[in-house]
Amino acid sequence: LDYDKGQGWHDGRIVPYQPIMLDPAAKVFHYGQTIFEGLKAYLTADGRVLLFRPRSNIKRMNLSNIRMSIPTLDEELFLEALRQLLVVERDWVPSEEGTSLYVRPFVIATQATLGVSPSHQYKFMIILSPVGAYYSEGVNPVSIYVESGYVRAVPGGVGEAKTAGNYAAGLQAQEEATAKGYSQVLWLDGVERKYIEEVGSMNVFFVIGDKVVTPVLNGSILHGITRDSVLQMLKHWGYEVEERQLSMQEVADAHRSGELKEAFGTGTAAVISPIGELYWQEKAMTLNGGRTGELSQRLYDELTGLQRGEKEDPFGWTVELKG
Ligand code: PMP
């Protein structure tokens, strides 16, 4: 789809995957006016294609659009574009256990002027990519570096928008953490660097005593759809959950006292990713003996089962692709 001021979103089309031509002065190259989304389509054992909570993605995409001064998209138009594309590309939805078709909708500002102001022209595109099982041999805990030097988002900034700049801001820290042997960075708040925000591409949960605690949506972390699904599942199962400010010191104290049972990340790619080790202030903490916790495993099994249509979906989250 294209957008022109005056004309609105128009000219929806499906074309073979190919490079696109943009003017070197296109605003997206210079000022990062762009947003994206990520969701997955799954093939069920009986040959149906299921999307997981696509309306949540379009709602979040429009929140990102508003924050980045990009015109919003109609929810039904988005879903129809996705439906038509997936009908054409249905054969690309892989069938093996753990696999899925990753769907990446995004918008870029294409107007060719160098002035710093919202673009008058945009392109909305959806690209697809089959993805293999995130865990080839069962769920594996990850080790995480708690970042005290760099910050990714600040109050009033663009942290809760799914926009390129947030990811660009994290690249150097991610590179340094990888060199130290850690797979991801855990970001702390951008003011005091005390409170836990999120991991590079996941929201985080901690099981402390008999409660499950996750940082409250404070304007600088992404409204993760897996996060929301996990919160709803935990409440449905009768767990006591808390969405609140959570400091790294509290987590370290809970670890020392034995109250910290397990921790995990949530996101579209990994679904549930148990955390085996946290490195903070020159010290490494091993969580749950470096093994996958009971709750992480249960959430992983339930959520992946539901996404693949193997388990009952009491929440009405899966949407079958018709056509
Ligand atoms: N935080 C960030 C910064 C992310 O990029 C992602 C992945 N989209 C998440 C959290 C998890 O969000 P979701 O569960 O919607 O994939």
pTM: 0.96
- 154, 86: one domain: no
In a domain, 74, yes or no: yes
Q: Which atom of ligand 1 is nearest to the CA of 226?
A: 14
In a domain, 315, yes or no: no
Containing H/E element for 105?
strand 100-109
Which residue puts its alpha carbon closest to atom 4 of ligand 1?
201
Predicted confidence at residue 302, as pLDDT, reads 96
What confidence tens digit (pLDDT) does each residue in 250-294 have? Answer: 999 999 999 999 999 999 998 999 999 999 999 999 999 999 999
Cα separation, 135 vs 300, in Å, equals 11
- 127, 206: one domain: no
- 180, 278: one domain: yes
Cα separation, 182 vs 276, in Å, equals 11
Which residue puts its alpha carbon closest to atom 9 of ligand 1?
202
Beta bridge partners of 233: none
DSSP state string for 32-95: --EEE--EEEEE-TTS-EEEESHHHHHHHHHHHHHHTT-----HHHHHHHHHHHHHHTGGGS--
In a domain, 35, yes or no: yes
Percentage of the chain with pLDDT > 70? 99
Predicted confidence at residue 96, as pLDDT, reads 86
Percentage of the chain with pLDDT > 90? 93
Which residue puts its alpha carbon closest to atom 11 of ligand 1?
267
- Does the CB atom of residue 224 touch ligand 1 within 6 A? yes
**Residue 269 alpha carbon to ligand 1 centre in Å:** 8
Predicted confidence at residue 35, as pLDDT, reads 98
What residue numbers bound the domain in which 54 lies? 2-131
> pLDDT-based confidence at 109, cuts 50/70/90?
very high
Instruction: Check: CB of residue 186 under 8 Å from CB of residue 251.
Output: no
Tell me which DSSP letter residue 148 carries.
S
**Residue 163 alpha carbon to ligand 1 centre in Å:** 11
Burial bucket for residue 7 (CB in 10 Å: 0-12, 13-18, 19+): exposed
**Residue 287 alpha carbon to ligand 1 centre in Å:** 22
Read off the CATH number of the domain in which 103 is found. 3.30.470.10
- 49, 168: one domain: no
Asked whether the predicted pLDDT for residue 110 surpasses 70, the reply is yes
Mean pLDDT of the chain: 95
**Residue 200 alpha carbon to ligand 1 centre in Å:** 8
- 232, 299: one domain: yes
**Residue 89 alpha carbon to ligand 1 centre in Å:** 25
**Residue 201 alpha carbon to ligand 1 centre in Å:** 5
Q: Is the dihedral of CA 282, 288, 291, 296 positive or negative?
A: negative
**Residue 264 alpha carbon to ligand 1 centre in Å:** 13
Read off the CATH number of the domain in which 195 is found. 3.20.10.10
- 97, 243: one domain: no
Q: Which atom of ligand 1 is nearest to the CA of 268?
A: 16
Using the structure block, give the residue that is written with the tokens 């089959």.
130
- Does the CB atom of residue 227 touch ligand 1 within 6 A? yes
Sequence-distant (≥ 6) Cβ neighbours of residue 20 within 8 angstroms: 123, 125
Asked whether the predicted pLDDT for residue 323 surpasses 90, the reply is no
- 108, 7: one domain: yes
In a domain, 321, yes or no: no
What confidence tens digit (pLDDT) does each residue in 126-152 have? Answer: 999 999 877 766 788 999 999 999 999
- 88, 147: one domain: no
**Residue 224 alpha carbon to ligand 1 centre in Å:** 5
Pocket residue to mutate for ligand 1, from 197, 203, 220, 232, most atoms within 8 A of Cβ: 203
What confidence tens digit (pLDDT) does each residue in 82-97 have? Answer: 999 999 999 999 988 8
Tell me how far the alpha carbon of residue 306 is from its chain's centroid: 18
Beta bridge partners of 271: 267
- The count of structural domains within the chain is 2
Sequence-distant (≥ 6) Cβ neighbours of residue 231 within 8 angstroms: 214, 241, 243
- Does the CB atom of residue 38 touch ligand 1 within 6 A? yes
Predicted confidence at residue 322, as pLDDT, reads 84
Predicted confidence at residue 132, as pLDDT, reads 87
- Does the CB atom of residue 267 touch ligand 1 within 6 A? yes
Predicted confidence at residue 137, as pLDDT, reads 67
Tell me which DSSP letter residue 168 carries.
H
- 106, 163: one domain: no
- 244, 147: one domain: yes
Q: Which atom of ligand 1 is nearest to the CA of 229?
A: 14
- 228, 197: one domain: yes
Predicted confidence at residue 249, as pLDDT, reads 98
In 10 A of CB 25, how many CB atoms?
Answer: 13
**Residue 156 alpha carbon to ligand 1 centre in Å:** 19
Q: Which atom of ligand 1 is nearest to the CA of 269?
A: 16
Predicted confidence at residue 40, as pLDDT, reads 96
Which residue puts its alpha carbon closest to atom 12 of ligand 1?
224
Q: What is the mean pLDDT of residues 205-222?
A: 97
